[in-house]
Amino acid sequence: MTYSVLYISSAAPDLNHNDVQDIMEAAAANNDPLQISGFLVFDDGNFLQLLEGEEEQVNMIYDRIKKDLRHRNIIPVLEQHTGIKGFDFYHSGFRICDNPKLVEELKNYVSLIRNIEAPQLRKTINLVDAILHAM
């Protein structure tokens, strides 16, 4: 069954552009082979990430993130079984959003999937939408 984790974290104070780029590249490289869908947004020193996939694999990646010293103040926003992925078709499964144009594309995608008949995704979609519009 599909499991989703949505979290927010702050970047470590000494994190530079190259470090952020390394995190973005590692996220794409680690998530695709495990069929993890979702997205990673970096904006104004904060990360927002959604991971969707098999529970064991999602938790393995999330545990790795929680141990990563480049992340601070990790706040889990949502951890739940959804049964389906909401972001599986978003740019082939996993998307890195590290500039305003890509964040705007993600907002548009969230608006689009808001209308799908999937009550189990409603909470995830509403939370993602609210956080993205607050960023």
CATH classification at residue 18? 3.30.70.100
The predicted-structure confidence for 65-89, as pLDDT tens digits, reads as follows 999 999 899 999 999 998 888 887 6
pTM: 0.83
The predicted-structure confidence for 3-62, as pLDDT tens digits, reads as follows 999 999 999 999 888 888 888 888 888 888 899 998 888 888 889 999 999 999 999 999
Counted domains in the chain:
1
What range defines the domain where residue 123 resides?
A: 2-134
Contact 4, 50 (CB under 8 A): yes
Is 34 strand, coil or helix? coil
Beta 71-81 vs 94-97: how paired, if at all? Answer: unpaired
Query: Which residue intervals of the chain are DSSP H helices?
Result: 17-31, 55-67, 100-113, 122-134
